[in-house]
Copies of this chain bind each other. A is one copy, B any other.
């Protein structure tokens, strides 16, 4: 009854209503690029909500060449770590006034490339990329001159900007903590060899072991996917061995959770029979039984740094940011003096 057409109000409607030109409407809506007289501005503002005007983002994107959207590509959004990271990323992106396109590559290299191209077609302003492996083909983005930051599964030789924790130092610290407990027989569940993330965490563990001059039984070195399923499978194999290690470093949190499930299956008590430490540090490890000691990634920092990199003006240099981690100690790696139940909020 308000006489509104089914089609949205445009700048022209506002201009007509306010008795100005469309340019002025733009100026007030965008606060520039030219100044507007106080009185005119008020008239325009009044007209805007009298007409119920809301700018069309698509038209703006086309005209300005800036789409106002960033894209996020992840191997699997249902993976708690990626989900937690996505949460932080979305917030950082929103703070930038942009929207976020979500692409779930479902661990498929092919789909990953499709998504990248799809996003590029939409004039995306920047891409946050977590690859299926460490050798993603991001040439299309570079060619298009679109900012791209690789997260988590990084290859430092790629000549692409990236943000990740110091995986080597993190796993080194975790392993050393285990060693500090007095454990000497320490195993590892590694991630897939095609991920540098996995290799680095492996390396940290190896370094700590070598430095402490601890022997490693090859049967206690298992390799599995970075998933709960993988962790459980590794556990099942491990627990079928005649002799168990005293401790295990699970290369990621999902594996640790799976390992715990296997332990329960086999009646292996944690930490009494087996101490566990892991990497990532989402809520999953806090609420596991027992709560798991873990290297914690600073997701919030990672997200902020990554989005800031995207926001840089073009013609920037490649930067590979490495974040610090923290160690969160919980019951899974054994008793700590004067630290009863350290898992409150």
Q: Give A96-121 as 1s and 0s: 1 = Cβ < 8 Å from B's Cβ atoms.
A: 00011111101000010000011111
List the B side residues contacting A68 at CB < 8 Å.
122
**Interface set, chain A 76-102, CB cutoff 8 A to B:** 76-80, 83-84, 86-87, 90-91, 94, 99-102
Q: Give A1-31 as 1s and 0s: 1 = Cβ < 8 Å from B's Cβ atoms.
A: 0000010100000000000000000000000
List the B side residues contacting A119 at CB < 8 Å.
99
**Interface range for A:** 35 or more
Question: Please, how many angstroms separate the alpha-carbon atoms of A117 and B54 in the complex?
Answer: 9
Let me know if A245 is at the binding interface, CB within 8 A: no
List the B side residues contacting A290 at CB < 8 Å.
264
Let me know if A257 is at the binding interface, CB within 8 A: yes
**B76 adjacent to A87 (CB under 8 Å):** yes
**B101 adjacent to A100 (CB under 8 Å):** yes
Question: Please, how many angstroms separate the alpha-carbon atoms of A80 and B290 in the complex?
Answer: 20
Let me know if A345 is at the binding interface, CB within 8 A: yes
A260 partner, pick from B59, B90, B286, B289, beta carbons under 8 A: B289
**B258 adjacent to A287 (CB under 8 Å):** yes
Some 18 contacts from A to B, beta carbons below 8 A apart, are: A54-B117, A56-B121, A58-B58, A58-B61, A58-B67, A59-B62, A77-B83, A77-B86, A77-B87, A86-B102, A94-B104, A100-B102, A100-B103, A228-B283, A260-B289, A261-B288, A265-B341, A288-B289
Given contacts A72-B102, A86-B104, 20 further A-B contacts (CB under 8 A): A56-B121, A57-B121, A57-B123, A58-B62, A58-B67, A68-B122, A69-B122, A78-B282, A90-B103, A91-B106, A99-B118, A99-B122, A101-B102, A228-B287, A258-B287, A260-B289, A261-B343, A264-B289, A264-B290, A265-B341
